[in-house]
């Protein structure tokens, strides 16, 4: 616990998400919101963003966790994807 906030960390590189877990995290949002487009792992693939389907993005994130935007922070019912400082400060007020 830090400053009244209890943390439950998960290293999803060593404890990878199952397809079910990833789809539950994504929920009603688009998988592209969770995809790390600027990742060196993605750039090495030399793929065009516009040619990838949402289904392919999920498969790629399952195969290569570096393609998942980080951090993923669940604060109550909210899920913050990436370093959205405004969302983080609001979640931990």
The CA distance from 31 to 93, in Å, is 28
Query: Do the domain assignments include residue 82?
Result: yes
Token digits for 59?
């498969």
Token digits for 29?
């949002």
Residue 39: its H or E element: none
Range of the domain at 78: 19-91
The CATH number given to whatever domain includes residue 43 is 3.40.30.10
pLDDT by 10-residue block (mean), the chain, 93 residues: 66 95 96 96 94 97 96 85 81 71
Q: How many residues does the chain have?
A: 93
The total domain count for the chain is 1
Question: In the prediction, which pLDDT does 75 show?
Answer: 80
Any long-range contacts for 20-24 (C-beta under 8 Å, 24+ apart)? 22/58, 22/61, 22/62, 22/68, 23/58
- The radius of gyration computed from the CA coordinates of the chain, to the nearest angstrom, equals 14
Question: In the prediction, which pLDDT does 1 show?
Answer: 43
What pTM did the predictor assign?
0.83
Query: Do the domain assignments include residue 56?
Result: yes
Question: In the prediction, which pLDDT does 3 show?
Answer: 58
Token digits for 6?
């209890």
């Amino acid at each position: 616990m830090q400053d009244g906030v209890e943390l439950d960390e998960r290293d999803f590189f060593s404890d990878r998400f199952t397809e079910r877990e990833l789809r539950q995290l994504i929920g009603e949002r688009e998988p592209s919101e969770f995809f790390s487009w600027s990742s060196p792992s993605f750039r090495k693939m030399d793929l065009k963003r516009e040619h990838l389907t949402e289904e392919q993005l999920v498969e790629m994130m399952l195969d290569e966790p570096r393609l998942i935007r980080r951090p993923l922070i669940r604060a109550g019912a909210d899920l913050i994807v990436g370093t959205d400082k405004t969302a983080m400060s609001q979640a931990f007020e």
